[in-house]
Amino acid sequence: MFRILFYRPEIPPNTGNAIRLSANTGVELHLVEPLGFAFEDKQLKRAGLDYHDLAHVRVHPDLGAAWAALLPANVYAFTARAEHRYTDVAYQAGDVLMFGPESAGLPDDVLAAPEITDRVRLPMRPGSRSLNLANTASIAIYEAWRQHDFRFGA
């Protein structure tokens, strides 16, 4: 299946919603520290409801540890500054869909990392800055999964 990578997420409900997304789609959720919250945070638990035991979540101390666990794989970095659309990608099993922190998105040094296969974006109206992190991850995962006819294990 596919993998989501949240680089230094800051807002507990977004990660809680991604935990629910993981449980309902079978994707793995990988988080790179530092996190802007503790796993005991009530907002995180509330957003994830009772899905925590059904989700595949792994926390990495830094990006190097995440790369070691996830590669080799295609890594698609989501950024509002990309030229390619997320729908231009032919997603494959094992692909990593990477998202940055809510306040700033992925930093330039991460976007330039050699591990990044491509930078992609979701279309938005002119003048819009960004979409919600959990919503963006959901849209992207469902597009990747749709391309595989919603088969489990794809």
Question: Is 122 labeled as ligand-binding?
Answer: yes
Question: Is 26 labeled as ligand-binding?
Answer: no
Report the 10 Å Cβ neighbour count for 68.
10
Helical H segments across 26-150, by residue range: 42-48, 63-70, 108-111, 133-146
For 90, counting Cβ atoms within 10 Å of its Cβ (0-12 exposed, 13-18 middle, 19+ buried), the class is exposed
Question: Is 35 labeled as ligand-binding?
Answer: no
* Contact (CB, 8 A) for 69 and 125: no
* Contact (CB, 8 A) for 98 and 118: no
Q: Give the burial string for 74-86 (b: 16+ CB within 10 Å, else e).
A: bbbbbbeebeeeb
CA distance 153 to 20: 17
Which residue numbers belong to the known binding site? 100, 122, 130
Annotated binding residues for S-adenosyl-L-methionine, written as ranges, equal 100, 122, 130
